[in-house]
């Protein structure tokens, strides 16, 4: 073949290759554009509309508002602290029992409501619906709190429920007495206005959630199982309405947690016979352990972005962003590798991208001139092969698997009902599914 013939063939090949690439790119961009334009984040909402009790106004008067505030403050002042399985404040839990009976008299006297105390301090309520063929749902919250000491840099004493700059401060305001009180208070006011639901529902308030819920939640589950109760959905404490959840997002996002990330607490340790610092061995326990921890930090677990519920979250938020972000976020099938690289740069968004590793405690050494015989590090999440050193002993302290992902599509009645309720109360927010991350 002549040189000219060769060149012509190469030119022809290049032409075809470039045309093919352009066509592919065009097809991908057309598909992405169609998806951006056709995505309807509010599909499925109609599922929830019929449940709305239209004849009852949600408005409350000034006195009721004052009462509501006073009730929340009183609840926070009751020190229902769970420290350990053998150390829970039982007298405060009994006090809380007396408090809710006094604060919500209509709930406790209504013929529609059945209340029972479970495991001495937890509470189970059944609110009967007019249509027993409808599967009930359940709302959960917990009445215990983790310990709080005034020395922990609180702006106000942690059980004072003092108001400062328009906010109520105190242990349990967020986690989780606000939820207990919101549920009971809403039910109290609704019942006072003659509310009678079509669909029955349960309320469950555990007393030992902060130490595992083995007594309260477990016994409520046992009881309901024995009775053969099945739920349409269960709503527990979880997420909230956030401002600034993603850089560039205007307005607040109401996040419904549809799953929770798993977590493992590992303890790493290295043991060697003790020696004096004047005659140190070539490697010390601290050196070996520090090297292992450094390897863990240098080798994060692989990116899994775009495969979990974060996909739904970004797609639901996409329409709140301008071009090109809306285009990119509506098409994670195409752009997830790109977004993942951007998100992993920030610690707050890196957790959306992968299983993260965090060294949380490091103890070693008893005295400055004695080389430690035992060094410990607590490491969350761990890849054994990353450490690759048999002298580092690895023990699992505790852990739990990620929860199954609850459905949040346009056929998921529970999700749509919660979303509709949020939008009724906060019309300007964007409602998105998220993954809860334990801290």
Strand partners, 117: 123
With CA atoms as reference, report the closest residue to 310 among 259, 263, 347, 356.
259
Strand partners, 256: 433
Query: Is 398 strand, coil or helix?
Result: strand
> Shortest distance, CB of residue 232 to Zn ion, whole angstroms?
23
Catalytic residue among 97, 144, 176, 376: 144
**Could you tell me the end-to-end alpha-carbon distance of the chain, in angstroms, rounded to an integer?**
70
Q: How many helices (H) and strands (E) does the chain have?
A: 13, 18
> Shortest distance, CB of residue 21 to Zn ion, whole angstroms?
53
> Shortest distance, CB of residue 53 to Zn ion, whole angstroms?
29
> Shortest distance, CB of residue 179 to Zn ion, whole angstroms?
8
> Shortest distance, CB of residue 287 to Zn ion, whole angstroms?
40
> Shortest distance, CB of residue 258 to Zn ion, whole angstroms?
17
Length of the chain: 439
Which of these ranges, 169-177, 221-229, 261-269, 271-279, lies near Zn ion under the rule CB under 5 A?
169-177
Q: Does 176 bind Zn ion (CB under 5 A)?
A: yes
Which of these ranges, 22-30, 177-185, 233-241, 272-280, lies near Zn ion under the rule CB under 5 A?
233-241
Which of these ranges, 15-23, 126-134, 176-184, 297-305, lies near Zn ion under the rule CB under 5 A?
176-184
DSSP annotation of 58 reads -
Query: Among residues 188 and 237, whose Cβ is nearest to Zn ion?
Result: 237
Query: Among residues 68 and 436, whose Cβ is nearest to Zn ion?
Result: 436
Query: Among residues 169 and 305, whose Cβ is nearest to Zn ion?
Result: 169
Q: Is-cis flag, bond preceding 412, omega within 30?
A: no
Instruction: Looking at residues 359 to 378 of the shown chain, list those that interact with Zn ion (rule: CB under 5 A).
Output: none
- Which pairs count as long-range contacts for 54-61, CB under 8 Å and 24+ apart, including other chains? 56/190, 56/193, 56/194, 56/195, 57/193, 58/425, 60/189
Q: Does 162 bind Zn ion (CB under 5 A)?
A: no
Q: Does 144 bind Zn ion (CB under 5 A)?
A: no
The values of phi and psi at residue 315, to 5°, are -65, -35
Annotated catalytic, 163? no
Q: Does 175 bind Zn ion (CB under 5 A)?
A: yes
Edge to edge, the sheet with strand 430-436 lists: 241-243, 252-260, 430-436
Query: Among residues 180 and 313, whose Cβ is nearest to Zn ion?
Result: 180
Between the CA atoms of 424, 425, 429 and 434, what dihedral angle is there, to the nearest 10 degrees?
-90
Tokens representing residue 170 in the block: 């105190």
Which of these ranges, 21-29, 106-114, 173-181, 218-226, lies near Zn ion under the rule CB under 5 A?
173-181
> Shortest distance, CB of residue 172 to Zn ion, whole angstroms?
9
Annotated catalytic, 144? yes
Query: Among residues 176 and 188, whose Cβ is nearest to Zn ion?
Result: 176
User: What span, in angstroms and rounded, lies between the C-alpha atoms of 269 and 96?
Assistant: 43
Catalytic residue among 176, 188, 208, 209: 209
User: What span, in angstroms and rounded, lies between the C-alpha atoms of 372 and 84?
Assistant: 30
Which of these ranges, 117-125, 157-165, 223-231, 235-243, lies near Zn ion under the rule CB under 5 A?
235-243
Query: Is 425 strand, coil or helix?
Result: helix
Query: Among residues 192 and 221, whose Cβ is nearest to Zn ion?
Result: 221
User: What span, in angstroms and rounded, lies between the C-alpha atoms of 395 and 270?
Assistant: 11
Q: Does 212 bind Zn ion (CB under 5 A)?
A: no
Say how many residues touch Zn ion, by CB under 5 A. 3
| Active centre residues (catalytic) | 144, 209
Contacts with Zn ion, residue ranges (CB under 5 A): 175-176, 237
């Amino acid at each position: 073949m002549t040189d000219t013939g060769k060149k012509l063939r190469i030119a022809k090949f290049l032409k075809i290759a470039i045309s093919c690439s352009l066509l592919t790119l065009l097809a991908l961009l057309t598909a992405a554009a169609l998806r951006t334009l056709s995505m309807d984040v509010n599909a499925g909402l109609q599922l929830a509309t019929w449940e709305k009790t239209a004849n009852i106004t949600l408005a409350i008067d000034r006195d009721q508002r004052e009462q509501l505030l006073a009730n929340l403050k009183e609840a926070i002042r009751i020190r229902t602290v769970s420290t350990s399985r053998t150390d829970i404040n039982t007298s405060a839990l009994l006090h809380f029992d007396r408090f809710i009976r006094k604060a919500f008299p209509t709930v406790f006297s209504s013929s529609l409501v059945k209340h029972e105390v479970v495991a001495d301090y937890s509470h189970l309520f059944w609110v009967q619906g007019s249509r027993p063929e409808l599967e009930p749902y359940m709302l959960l919250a917990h009445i215990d709190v983790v310990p709080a000491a005034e020395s922990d840099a609180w702006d106000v004493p942690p059980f004072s429920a003092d108001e400062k700059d328009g906010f109520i401060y105190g242990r349990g305001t967020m986690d989780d007495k606000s939820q207990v009180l919101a549920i009971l208070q809403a039910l109290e006011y609704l019942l006072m206005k003659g509310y009678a639901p079509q669909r029955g529902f349960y309320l469950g308030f555990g007393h030992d959630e902060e130490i595992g819920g083995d007594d309260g939640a477990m016994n409520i589950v046992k009881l309901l199982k024995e009775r053969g109760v099945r739920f349409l959905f269960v709503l527990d404490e979880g997420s909230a309405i956030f401002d600034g959840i993603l850089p560039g997002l205007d307005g607040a996002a109401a996040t419904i947690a549809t799953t929770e990330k798993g977590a493992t607490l590992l303890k790493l340790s290295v043991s060697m016979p003790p020696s004096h610092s004047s005659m140190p061995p070539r490697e010390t326990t601290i050196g070996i352990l520090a090297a292992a921890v450094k390897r863990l930090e240098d080798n994060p677990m692989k990116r899994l972005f775009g495969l979990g519920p974060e996909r739904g979250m970004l797609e639901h938020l996409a329409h709140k962003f301008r071009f090109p972000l809306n285009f990119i976020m509506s098409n994670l099938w195409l752009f997830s590798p790109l977004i993942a690289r951007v998100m992993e740069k920030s610690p707050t968004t890196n957790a959306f991208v992968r299983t993260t590793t965090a060294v949380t405690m490091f103890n070693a050494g008893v005295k400055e001139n004695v080389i430690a015989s035992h060094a410990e590090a607590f490491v969350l999440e761990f890849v054994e092969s990353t450490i690759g050193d048999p002298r580092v002993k690895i023990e699992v302290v505790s852990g739990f698997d990620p929860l199954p992902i609850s459905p949040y599509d346009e056929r998921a009645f529970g999700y749509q009902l919660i979303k509709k309720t949020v939008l009724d109360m906060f019309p300007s927010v964007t409602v998105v599914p998220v993954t809860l991350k334990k801290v």
